[in-house]
A = this chain, B = another copy of it.
Amino acid sequence: MRIGEVAAAAGVSPRSLRYYEERGLLTSVRSSSGQRHYAQDAVERVRWIQALYAAGLSSRAVAELLPCVHTGVATDAMLAGLSAERTRIDTQIRDLTSTRDRLDAVIAAANDHSRECAADRSASSTA
Q: Which of B51, B55, B79, B98 contacts A107 (CB 8 A)?
A: B79
Q: Which of A5-13, A17-25, A81-89 is found at the contact surface with chain B? A: A81-89
Count residues of A near B (Cβ-Cβ below 8 Å): 35
Nearest CB in chain B: distance from A125 CB, A: 20
Which residues, 72 to 98 on A, are CB-close (under 8 Å) to B? 72-74, 78-79, 82-83, 85-86, 89-90, 92-93, 95-98
**CB-based contact A99/B68 at 8 Å:** no
**Which A residues are closer than 8 A to B by beta carbons?**
51-52, 54-55, 68-69, 72-74, 78-79, 82-83, 85-86, 89-90, 92-93, 95-100, 102-104, 106-107, 109-111, 113-114
